[in-house]
Amino acid sequence: MSVDYAKEVDSILRDLGISETEFIAGTLSVSTPLTGEQIAKVAMSNDSQFRVATEAARDAFDSWRLLPAPRRGELVRLLGNELRAEKAALARLLSIEVGKIPSESLGEIQEMIDVCDFAVGLSRQLYGLAMPSERPQHRIVEQWHPIGPIAVISAFNFPAAVWSWNAAVALVTGNPVVWKPSEKAPLTALAVSAIAKRACEKFGQDAPHGLLGLLIGKADAGEFLANSGSYPVVSATGSTEMGRSVGRQVADRFGRAILELGGNNASIVTATADLELALRAVVFAAVGTTGQRCTTLRRLFVHSRIYDSFIDKLKTAFGSVTVGDPLQDGALIGPLIDQHAYHQAQDVLTQLGASDAIVHGGERVQVNSESSFYMRPAIVEMAEQSEQVLRETFAPILYVLRYDKIDEALALNNAAPQGLSSSIFSTDVREIETFLSACGSDCGIANVNMGTSGAEIGGAFGGEKQTGGGRECGSDAWKSYMRRQTNSINYGNELPLAQGVSFEL
């Protein structure tokens, strides 16, 4: 029995109070990857709307920055509550728009709620340091001030959470936000923005018009934000190619870019690992979200002593995982986002199949229609890391290599140009600590006895090298959304100069 996803989307958006002019007759056609059918035609923002949203954000900054931070936190608390109330509808829309299985969509909305809770607490903890002065009757402190409108450019695969990682923290730190979501996921953005508007209405007139802007568009809308001097901070999530372009544009005007780009994540399974635990973790990290997470496990290094038995179990697990429409048959692996993603994956598998590599799985699975693209997850046994392995292919393809010495595995881990997530499975404290040490994994995330995906919001999220170097969410990532000011204060009657300099008039 086929489900009418277009009708369902229409009803979810109307229930959220979104005007049909925004999603019925626009020029941006949106399809569900579940069936490939068109589900909406979204109105795109034009150049004049880019400028209007930017001016409104600048105006909003003038008043928002003056509101005490804990009061700003109250808006984020209300936002969390509105998200709680709409969790089911929002998750359903997200599943239809990008094809995630229900529990992952619910998990993504839960992550938004969690980051709101985190940011509410943070609104009372925007601490600066006090430093001892070398001069008598002086003190030095640093304070953190709001910086200005934050531009957020987001990718299709986390169409809701990435906005909240930025917006919740940006709001409590005193900044308006203008969001340019992926053109592949504008409906979730419309829904999230409608929910945020409700929170602003409940908050009252202290939430200025223009505090949370939304621009629907393609790369040109992102380029506008990257180039506009009105955005001191641009947080951009997406491919390394996109980040290279945005990073240059923002640097050219001396703005600050928070770049959250492609990953090519690896796990090491050592000879002492708990293999049952490792197997479950590896399978989820490699095939969950159909291999379309920035933290998806793409490279696996297995110790020679356990290689054959582990790979056999892995092949069985990959072969048994269900592929299908997750909203109709409860499958664990849904579709790829579109035809382009499918062809990219197949091209890689074809190239490697013609080489010495051994390819297991990866076939297309016919589900719903010719215009939807489902595939079995693939394992590719490799003798070395070829150029295909060192590139991020956004699909469920896991490259597996064997190793003998931990240093060899570490070198393989660090050979990728990207540096987002990594993990080790081991019960040997020396191996674990080496992996976590200064000469261990070079990634922004290094886990022990767990997979590479599924980070919690409490830590700072992001990676090194071609992943862009940005950090978002927890820990002290909030500092990227503020400007630091150092204050030296003289409360005496003398004017001693620093470094003992004498300058008598």
Give catalytic residues, as residue numbers: 260, 294
Helices (H), 297-388: 304-320, 326-329, 339-353
Q: Kindly identify the residues of this chain, within the stretch 364-383, that bind ligand NAD according to CB under 6 A.
A: none
The backbone region for 281, taken as left when phi is positive above 0, alpha when psi lies in -120 to 50, beta otherwise, is alpha
- Using the contact rule CB under 6 A, the part of the chain among 79-87, 258-266, 342-350, 366-374 near ligand NAD is 258-266
Sole binder of ligand NAD in the list 207, 261, 306, 457 (CB under 6 A): 261
CB of 171 to ligand NAD, least distance (A): 20
Q: Which residues contact 36 (CB under 8 A, 6 or more apart)?
A: 368, 369, 370, 371, 372, 373
Q: Which is nearer to ligand NAD, 103 or 245 (CB)?
A: 245
- Using the contact rule CB under 6 A, the part of the chain among 29-37, 58-66, 241-249, 307-315 near ligand NAD is 241-249
Residue 156 within binding range of ligand NAD, rule CB under 6 A: yes
Sole binder of ligand NAD in the list 78, 151, 226, 443 (CB under 6 A): 226
Q: Which is nearer to ligand NAD, 49 or 490 (CB)?
A: 49
CB of 102 to ligand NAD, least distance (A): 20
Sole binder of ligand NAD in the list 263, 288, 324, 377 (CB under 6 A): 263
CB of 224 to ligand NAD, least distance (A): 8
Q: Which is nearer to ligand NAD, 240 or 426 (CB)?
A: 240
Residue 113 within binding range of ligand NAD, rule CB under 6 A: no
- Under a CB-based contact definition with an 8 Å cutoff, are residues 265 and 296 in contact? yes
DSSP string, 89-151: HHHHHHHHHH---HHHHHHHHHHHHHHHHHHHHHTT-----EE--SSTTEEEEEEEEE---EE
Q: Which residues contact 415 (CB under 8 A, 6 or more apart)?
A: 385, 390
Residue 216 within binding range of ligand NAD, rule CB under 6 A: no
- Using the contact rule CB under 6 A, the part of the chain among 33-41, 128-136, 152-160, 402-410 near ligand NAD is 152-160
Sole binder of ligand NAD in the list 222, 288, 335, 419 (CB under 6 A): 222
**Please, what is the Cα angle at 97 between 93 and 103, to 5 degrees?**
60
DSSP string, 367-414: -S-TTS-EE--EEEE-SS--TTTTS--SSSEEEEEEESSHHHHHHHHH
Residue 243 to residue 230: CA distance in whole angstroms: 19
Residue 84 to residue 72: CA distance in whole angstroms: 19
For residue 465, the one-letter residue type is K
Q: Which is nearer to ligand NAD, 166 or 413 (CB)?
A: 166
Q: Which residue is at the shortest CB distance from ligand NAD? A: 222
Residues that bind ligand NAD in the complex, under the rule CB under 6 A: 153-158, 180, 182-183, 218-219, 222-223, 226, 237-239, 242, 245-246, 260-263, 294, 392, 394, 420, 467
